[in-house]
């Protein structure tokens, strides 16, 4: 086994498969929990698979659920490559959705072919600004982006609650005693094109295209190189003439932008209005946090995030049928998702350690080759 792991190509393959093994281990623990609750794990997981892939509608729902995860995950790939952690996806989704919705409500008579791209752009810019604020605080005041992005989530939620219960509330709800916090339904012309009779909308295709564009951005452009360089070593990047502060701001700017776009897609492709239960989750469905896990599962690679998002979308959609089929508490579904998160994040830490070990071993081998033959044995004893 040790010799097998020493092979660089096989070692990298094992690292690539680690998230899958981690997810399977999490499901094994989930099966144990089902047994403790008196449920049949085979029946439960069969229901989960059927709920996610059992019909055209189920498959479409899985893709729809995966779309915001993919978009948030793409933003996470950018920010993490720049060594800044964005925990503000929930708030950025909310702000992006509010910006897109406000534009749609302000000009209800505009043609859809004009409004849809403008609304998506508004969502993109709204999330970008909301993400760029913590980026500026990090770059120029050394404020922790962990704290600032989390606090920006809370601000976004309170802003949403204020707007949806006051200035942006549906006039029909405003005239009723119930006053459900939601906006009016957007014009039918603003609905994203979808595959009838399913809920699969154009946003899913756009998200996949954007994944390839983010890959090009990170690995085929000067801007992407600078972001990654700053993430690897800000001091060396500064010495090389890269504006480190600017790259930090841009990393969170783009990360927030994709989360904001996810919020706009949720409104124009799924809900067709902005609605909340008083929390961010009531609108986002936790996509702002689940997108982080999807990105980690995809090893912070935009293309790897595509299947990772699809997998988590399947888990979220299939979990509903699992709960109904075996009659287990909803808390079990939350626990199952949490197990997957823990195991996937842990596997990523293990992968990074193995990657560092390979780098050290490669450096040692290179040093050996550079030494004269008569000094190689002496150097090996020293190493």
Assign 371 a pLDDT band (cuts: 50, 70, 90).
low
CB 100 within 8 A of CB 126: yes
What percent of the chain shows pLDDT beyond 70? Answer: 91
- Phi, psi for 185 (deg, rounded to 5): -70, 135
Flag whether pLDDT at 304 surpasses 90: yes
Number of residues assigned to the chain: 383
Between 29-38, 51-60, 218-227, the lowest mean confidence (pLDDT) is in: 29-38
Respond yes or no on whether the N-terminal peptide bond of residue 197 is cis (omega within 30° of 0): yes
- On whether residue 372 sits in a domain, the answer given is no
- On whether residue 329 sits in a domain, the answer given is no
317/209: higher pLDDT: 209
Flag whether pLDDT at 175 surpasses 80: yes
- On whether residue 259 sits in a domain, the answer given is yes
Assign 1 a pLDDT band (cuts: 50, 70, 90).
very low
- On whether residue 40 sits in a domain, the answer given is no
Flag whether pLDDT at 358 surpasses 60: yes
Q: What is the DSSP letter of 189?
A: G
Please give the radius of gyration of the chain, using alpha carbons only, rounded to the nearest integer: 23
- On whether residue 27 sits in a domain, the answer given is no
Q: What is the DSSP letter of 194?
A: B
Flag whether pLDDT at 193 surpasses 80: yes
Flag whether pLDDT at 5 surpasses 50: no
- On whether residue 284 sits in a domain, the answer given is yes
Q: Taking all residues of the chain, what is their mean pLDDT, rounded to a whole number?
A: 89
Flag whether pLDDT at 352 surpasses 90: no
- On whether residue 80 sits in a domain, the answer given is yes
pLDDT, tens digit, 9 for 90 and up, residues 100-154: 999 999 999 999 999 999 999 999 999 999 999 999 999 999 999 999 999 999 9
Flag whether pLDDT at 95 surpasses 80: yes
Task: Give the chain's domain count.
Answer: 1
Residues 257 and 248: their CA atoms lie apart, in Å, by 14
- Phi, psi for 201 (deg, rounded to 5): -115, 170
**pTM score, whole prediction:** 0.89
Q: Residue 302 belongs to what domain range?
A: 63-323
pLDDT in the model for residue 256: 98
Query: Which residues are within 8 A (CB) of 93 and not within 5 positions of it... i.e. 6 or more apart?
Result: 68, 72, 127, 259, 260, 262, 263, 266, 280, 283, 284, 287, 288
Assign 38 a pLDDT band (cuts: 50, 70, 90).
confident
217/336: higher pLDDT: 217
- On whether residue 383 sits in a domain, the answer given is no
pLDDT in the model for residue 21: 83
């Amino acid at each position: 086994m040790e010799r097998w792991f020493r092979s660089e190509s096989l070692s990298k393959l094992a690292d690539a498969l680690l998230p899958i093994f981690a997810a399977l281990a999490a499901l094994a623990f989930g099966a144990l929990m089902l047994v403790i609750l008196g449920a049949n794990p085979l029946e439960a997981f069969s229901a989960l698979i059927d709920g996610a892939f059992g019909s055209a509608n189920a498959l479409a729902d899985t893709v729809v659920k995966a779309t915001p995860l993919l978009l948030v995950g793409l933003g996470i790939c950018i920010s993490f490559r720049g060594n800044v952690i964005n925990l503000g996806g929930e708030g950025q989704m909310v702000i992006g959705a509010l910006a897109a919705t406000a534009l749609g409500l302000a000009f209800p008579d505009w043609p859809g072919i004009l409004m849809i791209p403008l609304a998506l752009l508004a969502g993109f810019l709204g999330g970008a600004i909301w993400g760029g604020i913590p980026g500026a605080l990090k770059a120029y005041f050394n404020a922790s982006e962990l704290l600032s992005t989390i606090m920006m989530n809370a601000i976004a939620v309170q802003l949403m609650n204020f707007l949806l219960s006051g200035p942006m509330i549906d006039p029909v709800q405003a005239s009723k005693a119930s006053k459900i916090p939601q906006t009016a339904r957007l014009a039918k012309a603003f609905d994203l094109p979808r595959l009838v009779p399913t809920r699969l909308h154009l946003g899913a295709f756009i998200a996949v295209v954007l994944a390839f564009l983010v890959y090009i951005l990170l690995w085929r452009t000067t801007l992407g190189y600078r972001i990654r360089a700053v993430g690897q070593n800000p001091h060396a990047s500064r010495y090389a003439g890269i504006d480190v502060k600017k790259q930090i701001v841009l990393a969170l700017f783009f990360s927030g932008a994709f989360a904001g776009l996810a919020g706009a897609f949720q409104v124009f492709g799924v809900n067709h209005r902005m609605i909340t239960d008083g929390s961010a989750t009531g609108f986002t469905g936790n996509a702002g946090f689940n997108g982080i896990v999807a990105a980690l599962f995809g090893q912070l690679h935009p293309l790897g995030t595509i299947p990772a998002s699809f997998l988590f979308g399947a888990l979220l959609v299939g979990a509903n049928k699992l709960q109904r089929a075996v009659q287990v508490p909803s808390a079990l579904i939350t626990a199952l998702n949490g197990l997957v998160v823990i195991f996937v994040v842990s596997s990523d830490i293990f992968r990074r350690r193995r990657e560092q070990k390979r780098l050290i071993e490669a450096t040692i081998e290179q040093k050996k080759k550079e030494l004269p033959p008569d000094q190689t044995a002496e150097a090996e004893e020293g190493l």
